[in-house]
Amino acid sequence: MVARRPIALAAGIVLVLEAVGLVLLHMVLARVMGGQRMSLDGLDPDLMVTAIWIMGGVLGAYVALCGVLLVLLGVRDRRLGRAARIVLISCAITHGVLGAVVVGLVGWAAFAYMMVVLGLVVASLVLYAPEHGAREPAPPVEGGVAPA
């Protein structure tokens, strides 16, 4: 049996740390944008700074939620519900897309990091996937033959 609890816990811890890093990165970006006082095609610089702060908070909260779900998955060692699985699937998709973007903007090290996180999230999803034959059989139909 693969050690699925440590994989889920590691993925959760990495995502919580990533959330903190994302919030700090957006904080730095907002300060740099605020210090430049430049307008981009007539956009208000203060509006752009506010948007950077909001995006940093939303993205950090989303990644932190994914991390907390994975930590809970590792601690409880039980499958998550449908909504939590959808959140984790969207987290995996986000990391895949961001990995493709950062390879050109940041470099191969950032790409490798994003792919490791993607692998941890996908491994957690696959290791805690519902079993295919786990459903109960349907009850027999009264007055007729049960479906095959």
Q: Which residues have a Cβ under 8 Å from the Cβ of 41 and sit 6 or more positions away?
A: none
Question: At residue 17, does pLDDT exceed 60?
Answer: yes
The overall pTM is greater than 0.95: no
Alpha helix locations (H) across the chain? 4-36, 45-76, 82-105, 108-127
Domain boundaries, the chain: 3-128
Question: At residue 102, does pLDDT exceed 80?
Answer: yes
Query: Average pLDDT for residues 83-96, to the nearest whole number?
Result: 96
Q: What pLDDT digit, counting tens, does each position of 29-46 carry? A: 999 988 887 777 888 888
| 124 token code pair | 């957690």
What confidence score (pLDDT) does residue 131 get? 76
Question: At residue 88, does pLDDT exceed 90?
Answer: yes
What confidence score (pLDDT) does residue 12 get? 97
